[in-house]
Chains A and B, each alone.
Chain A
């Protein structure tokens, strides 16, 4: 066969959306197994449920705990582990958690993908327990479980003396394809 068997997209096709007016204590969070359970809970709107679920999915692809061996992944998460193109294994996303970002001028959620650990408990990628998969909706969780997981080395904070030094020729043309 001269073509790929399976392809997917991770981030394209989800429209950006700015959320407003949500204040929640840092230790309160919303936990759902999927978009449908988020919508039926009625706390946040359908479109926000969908948007946040998509964001969780993107975060999952970037931040899921990675294992070199399938057996190590299964030991922690029991459920089916998937293999990435890189050869590493990650658990399957089984739910998502929304926690309000405190002190943010533009209130928005921190979205954390959830996995199933032993005993049917939801776990974050850092293996913090955040409630049972049988309960959906508002849960009280340890503050550290709502911390945004950091995926990459933070780049070096610098200062900027000038911007706009690239792009001046862009106004003069259409697209680059050729």
Chain B
């Protein structure tokens, strides 16, 4: 695994904009960064990232199965009692799921360590699945990279495949709605990309903002033309929906949601100590405990304190011998904490490198890499492409 500096393609910003990638620069800071790329060997990708991704996904599904049948675990996962049956039935019905992203710390040599599973509302999909792929195709075309070079990236192809199945098995000619809330260009880009794949899979689609969703007197969710919503992809976390005013209508509604309600179990950081308890010693897992239980000796005195519900690195603190060494502020303060053994990200040319490994339906499908100047990867991170080269 190497970090190699590289000349950006001429006019790539114009290309990005013409292809709907409007968040390539966020708040004046570069987000898409092709001044470098990461290079892996095939063995590193397949044995060190792809295989553990598949295995951890199966381990996670095993825990979902366990959790829906255990009141104690559902409580630990902070899923409100009112939604226990809703989540449980969604799992027992085997509601289809489409995507998720696992975050790993990996340095090219030691086993990749699993940080967490963004299983409900992951972003950076478009840049991983499409723009990264296009970058490599054009670099090869311009003879800046040799033709035998490769990339681990069948994300879009598999996503369309999953959507074709969804169309045949679940949607039966009905419209699939796509939604996100109003204030994020990045969220909107991710949702539009998802909708693009759905169109290519032959589904009928419609966009609606989360805030515009209505409720009918019969308790069905409605669009802006008062039509009921048969299916909806929502880039909005389940734990928020459970708490908000319309949450109480969820169990009675006929809307099929993506990701499905059972994903609420996996996107939740309380799954991390449960995973450690169940698979203690697994080479890709980090020791992890609930803050309110007695930690095992394997946690040590250098660990990361993460809120059960948190995104974009918010409210995460690094503790060393009882002292806080790094701390990120944020809004997620009301959900309890888990403690995960400190496993710093590897540093390449001064950058802290995080691997995002995509799971489409149940299969590993590709990776995307983000760099940050800090040990905690936040929304200020940059997306850097990768290649596989022997």
Answer whether A and B are interacting partners.
yes
- Which B residues, 236 to 271, have Cβ-Cβ distances below 8 Å to chain A? 236-237, 240-241, 243-247, 249
Q: Does A18 lie at the interface of the complex (its beta carbon under 8 Å from any beta carbon of B)? A: no
The contact sample of 19 A-B pairs, CB cut-off 8 A, is A2-B154, A3-B152, A7-B156, A12-B196, A62-B202, A62-B205, A66-B202, A84-B200, A85-B200, A85-B202, A162-B215, A166-B213, A167-B210, A170-B183, A170-B240, A174-B312, A176-B187, A177-B122, A178-B313
Contacts of A172 in B (CB 8 A): 331
Contact check: which of B124, B167, B220 meets A158 at CB < 8 Å? B220
Nearest to A150 among chain B residues (CB) is B204
Contact check: which of A9, A62, A166 meets B130 at CB < 8 Å? A9
Are B130 and A177 within 8 A (Cβ)?
no
A43 CB → nearest B CB, Å: 26
Contacts of A174 in B (CB 8 A): 184, 312, 379
Kindly supply a per-residue 1/0 record for chain B positions 22-44, scoring 1 wherever the CB is within 8 Å of any chain A CB and 0 otherwise: 00000000000000000000100
Distance between Cα atoms of A62 and B202 in the complex (Å): 6
Distance between Cα atoms of A174 and B151 in the complex (Å): 30
Are A4 and B244 within 8 A (Cβ)?
no
B280 CB → nearest A CB, Å: 25
Distance between Cα atoms of A164 and B209 in the complex (Å): 10
Name A's B-contacting residues (CB within 8 A).
Answer: 1-4, 7-13, 58, 61-62, 66, 84-88, 151-178
Are B215 and A160 within 8 A (Cβ)?
yes
Nearest to B188 among chain A residues (CB) is A175
Are B199 and A177 within 8 A (Cβ)?
no
Distance between Cα atoms of A166 and B241 in the complex (Å): 6
Are A177 and B244 within 8 A (Cβ)?
no
Instruction: Tally chain B residues at the interface, Cβ within 8 Å.
Output: 89
- Which B residues, 186 to 201, have Cβ-Cβ distances below 8 Å to chain A? 186-187, 192-193, 195-196, 199-201
Number of A-B contacts (CB under 8 A): 207
Distance between Cα atoms of A154 and B228 in the complex (Å): 10
Q: Does B67 lie at the interface of the complex (its beta carbon under 8 Å from any beta carbon of A)? A: no
Contacts of B212 in A (CB 8 A): 163-164
Q: Does B229 lie at the interface of the complex (its beta carbon under 8 Å from any beta carbon of A)? A: yes
Q: Does B58 lie at the interface of the complex (its beta carbon under 8 Å from any beta carbon of A)? A: no
Q: Does B343 lie at the interface of the complex (its beta carbon under 8 Å from any beta carbon of A)? A: no
Are A160 and B202 within 8 A (Cβ)?
no
Q: Does B284 lie at the interface of the complex (its beta carbon under 8 Å from any beta carbon of A)? A: no
Contacts of A159 in B (CB 8 A): 216-217, 222, 226
Please list the 7 inter-chain residue pairs (A to B) with the smallest Cβ-Cβ separation, ordered nearest first. A165-B246, A12-B20, A160-B214, A152-B204, A170-B181, A177-B123, A167-B211
Q: A176-B237, A178-B116 are in contact. Are A163 and B199 (CB under 8 A)?
A: no
Q: Does B349 lie at the interface of the complex (its beta carbon under 8 Å from any beta carbon of A)? A: no
- Which B residues, 140 to 188, have Cβ-Cβ distances below 8 Å to chain A? 150-154, 156-157, 160-161, 164, 167-168, 172-175, 181-184, 186-187
Q: Does B72 lie at the interface of the complex (its beta carbon under 8 Å from any beta carbon of A)? A: no
Q: A2-B388, A85-B164, A163-B213 are in contact. Are A173 and B311 (CB under 8 A)?
A: yes
Are B19 and A175 within 8 A (Cβ)?
no
Contacts of A175 in B (CB 8 A): 123, 184, 186-187, 311-312, 379
Are A3 and B236 within 8 A (Cβ)?
no
Contacts of A86 in B (CB 8 A): 164, 167-168, 201-202
A133 CB → nearest B CB, Å: 26
Contact check: which of B45, B123, B196, B313 meets A176 at CB < 8 Å? B123
B63 CB → nearest A CB, Å: 19
Distance between Cα atoms of A37 and B307 in the complex (Å): 59
Contact check: which of A85, A157, A161 meets B215 at CB < 8 Å? A161
